[in-house]
């Protein structure tokens, strides 16, 4: 039920962290997986080579580069069966240090690029009457942190994109679902979690009393990509140790 044999999967932001864990798990499930990073970095090359998989680079913060990325994905895969929207940017920007430039950067990367990618790859899914679109959002979608004001706002916008897409594509065999990670121990979060007092206080508000790992998010992504989840669409699934409660 959970195998992805014969499926072509594109995971944005899969050079490291949650995206890499999801891409690796999809490979293990039998899929052909295209790894992605903003640049052709050593981390991206190593991640793809370790999985014996192809890779592609493209900056989601640049709408023109996203269009070039789409062309390159088509050249490599032909079409995409499973689109996993993981790539994003995050800064500690709230109301007090808001800037239009940073808002536009995060909105393009975290939301507009998802519009572009869905628009590009959903038609092929419609034609074959099968497809999966999975967004990796954040618990900030439900519990916005004031220090992540812009980021939380982009994730709320992404939620609406996913819900509207779920309605639009369901009749054509395409499911559209969202995973909401909580506090995950990735290199992105390493610096702030190195503050022991901050980390202890944060851990105490999580019912599970621990932070998650990237691998905690990969199993649910494989499930959502598989035929086992064929009747599940429009879902928002927290992987947060109960932090959403």
Return d(Cα 235, Cα 176) in angstroms, integer. Answer: 8
Q: How far is Cα of residue 73 from the mean position of the Cα atoms in its chain?
A: 17
Return d(Cα 108, Cα 102) in angstroms, integer. Answer: 10
Domains and CATH numbers, the chain: 8-239 (3.40.50.720)
pTM reported for the whole predicted model: 0.97
Mean pLDDT score of the chain: 97
Give the mean model confidence (pLDDT) for residues 152-166. Answer: 98
- Catalytic-labelled residue, pool 92, 151, 169, 231: 151
Neighbours of 129 (CB within 10 A): 10
Least confident among 57-66, 84-93, 151-160, 184-193: 184-193
| DSSP tag of 57 | E
pLDDT digits (tens, 9 = 90+) for 98-133: 999 999 999 999 999 999 999 999 999 999 999 999
Q: Give CA angle at 134 (244, 230), nearest 5°.
A: 100
The whole-number pLDDT of residue 191 equals 87
Confidence of residue 1 (pLDDT cuts 50, 70, 90): confident
Least confident among 29-43, 72-86, 191-205: 191-205
Angle, nearest 10°, between helix axes 42-50 and 17-28? 20
Neighbours of 33 (CB within 10 A): 30
Least confident among 187-191, 210-214, 222-226, 228-232: 187-191
Give the mean model confidence (pLDDT) for residues 189-208. Answer: 93
User: Dmax over Cα atoms in the chain, in whole Å?
Assistant: 53
Give the mean model confidence (pLDDT) for residues 169-182. Answer: 98
Confidence of residue 150 (pLDDT cuts 50, 70, 90): very high
The whole-number pLDDT of residue 244 equals 95
Q: Specify whether 151 is catalytic.
A: yes
Q: Is the pLDDT of residue 192 over 90?
A: no
pLDDT digits (tens, 9 = 90+) for 50-106: 999 999 999 999 999 999 999 999 999 999 999 999 999 999 999 999 999 999 999
């Amino acid at each position: 039920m959970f195998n992805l044999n014969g499926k072509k999967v594109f995971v944005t932001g899969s050079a490291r962290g949650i995206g890499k864990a999801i891409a690796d798990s999809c490979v293990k499930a039998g899929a052909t997986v295209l790894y992605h990073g903003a640049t052709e970095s050593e981390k991206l090359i190593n991640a793809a080579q370790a999985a014996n998989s192809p890779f592609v680079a493209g900056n989601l913060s640049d709408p023109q580069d996203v269009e070039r990325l789409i062309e390159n994905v088509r050249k490599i895969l032909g079409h995409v069966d499973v689109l996993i929207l993981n790539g994003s940017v995050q800064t500690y920007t709230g109301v007090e240090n808001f800037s239009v430039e940073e808002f536009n950067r995060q909105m393009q990367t975290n939301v507009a690029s998802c519009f572009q990618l869905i628009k590009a790859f959903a038609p092929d899914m419609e034609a074959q009457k099968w497809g999966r679109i999975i967004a990796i959002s954040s618990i900030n979608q439900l519990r916005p942190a004031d220090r992540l004001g812009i980021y939380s706002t982009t994730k709320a916008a992404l939620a609406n994109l996913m819900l509207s897409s779920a309605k639009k594509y369901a009749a054509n065999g395409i499911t559209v679902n969202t995973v909401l990670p909580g506090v995950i121990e990735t290199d992105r979060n390493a610096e702030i979690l190195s503050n022991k007092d901050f980390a202890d206080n944060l851990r105490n508000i999580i019912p599970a009393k621990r932070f998650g790992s990237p691998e905690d998010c990969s199993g649910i992504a494989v499930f959502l990509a598989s035929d086992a989840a064929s009747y599940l669409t429009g879902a928002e699934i927290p992987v947060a140790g109960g932090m959403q409660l």
